[in-house]
Amino acid sequence: MTETSVDSILDAARAQFLRTGVRRTSGDDIARSAGVNRATLYRRVGTKDEIVRQTYLHETQRVLAVIEKATGPVPPPGETGFDPVAYVERFLTVTITQVRDNPLLQQLLEIDRDETLLGLTLNAGETLTLSSMLVADRIRSLRAYVGNTDVDDIDDLAGTLARLTQSLLLTPDAPPRLDSKERMRTYARRVIAPMILGR
């Protein structure tokens, strides 16, 4: 019999959090959902706080993979038929939609609002770092495509855009109001694309 993988345990934790929230979920609940005993759970992943932290990171990786698949890669310079501004519009729209509509996040904001807000702000360093890495990769590719050789600000810009997405999630009713895909595309075209492309 093969040992249950960490990913399987984190998937089980995610499913349990969707059912009962973080606060009302015990280590025994997660172990039962994962089909392991509590000793195996703690040996493979750690304490409940560590399970929560790793589940958030695991979910972030899953969402980033969805965003990557939905937006696709940036082609190499010189390839025709690619519109970098339209790509930025699509990337921003997909990202905001995926984050705002995430079932786990919506459930936790409903059931465990205080703990979730803490996870999305004071404890969000690792999540923001993961998100920034994807954004930085896309900025590099887009700048290469348009012939912009300026790379010194890419990491800072990527971190800023990751934090912007975090802010848009936490306060959707404040400006800029991106409550429709058309507004998201317009904002991306007017504000985000010039920052990324440098023109």
Report whether 141 contacts 74 (CB < 8 A): yes
The predicted pLDDT at position 94 comes to 97
pTM of the model: 0.88
My answer on whether 100 and 131 are in the same domain is yes
My answer on whether 109 and 167 are in the same domain is yes
My answer on whether 42 and 57 are in the same domain is no
Domain of residue 28, residue span: 1-46
Sign of the alpha-carbon torsion through 168, 173, 175, 179: positive
The predicted pLDDT at position 150 comes to 92
Residue numbers of the chain with a pLDDT score lower than 70: 1-3, 199
Number of compact structural domains in the chain: 2
Which among 100, 122, 116, 118 is positioned nearest to 171, based on CA atoms?
A: 100
Report whether 166 contacts 128 (CB < 8 A): yes
